[in-house]
Amino acid sequence: MPRQLGELEDAVMTRVWQWNRPVTVREVLEDLQQERSIAYTTVMTVLDNLHQKGWVRREVEGRAYRYTAVSTRAAYSAALMNEAWAQSDNPAAALVAFFGMMSPEQREALEDAVRIARRDTPEAAPPPAETPEGGEGAGGPGR
């Protein structure tokens, strides 16, 4: 399970995830500078650290690197939630407390997610229709 990203790591990864394409240090720097004063070398160090931690992969382009996310923000969030839930001594109570903190919109999203998860699991699929012995089905005698 990956550890939670630090504040600056999260700000950098947010851009990498949102843009969903290979990015340069310069691109991330220019976007971050709209919110805060930050040096090129700081962003370069953060992206290098994220590469070493396995969050991004990089490819050389000229004299610079282009960085691409290895995973999605959704996968990162899911891993954090799973880790937090696994650490509980009473997972059911933790879920009840978590649900109590959710907004109506979040609960609706959860219900949608459960529906999708149930639909995508093989156990939830209805059994295949059986064909009567002798090969008689919809095209059998009398049709």
Walk along the chain (143 residues) and give the pLDDT tens digit of each residue: 467 899 999 999 999 999 999 999 999 999 999 999 999 999 999 999 999 999 999 999 999 999 999 999 999 998 888 888 888 999 899 889 988 999 999 999 999 989 998 988 776 555 555 544 444 444 444 43
Q: What does the longest C-alpha to C-alpha distance in the chain come to?
A: 81
Quick count: other Cβ atoms within 10 Å of Cβ 38? 16
Which residue has tokens 């931690």? 53
Dist CA 5 CA 76 (whole Å): 9
Dist CA 67 CA 37 (whole Å): 22
Cβ-based neighbours of 82, under 8 Å, separated by 6 or more: 1
pTM (predicted TM-score): 0.68
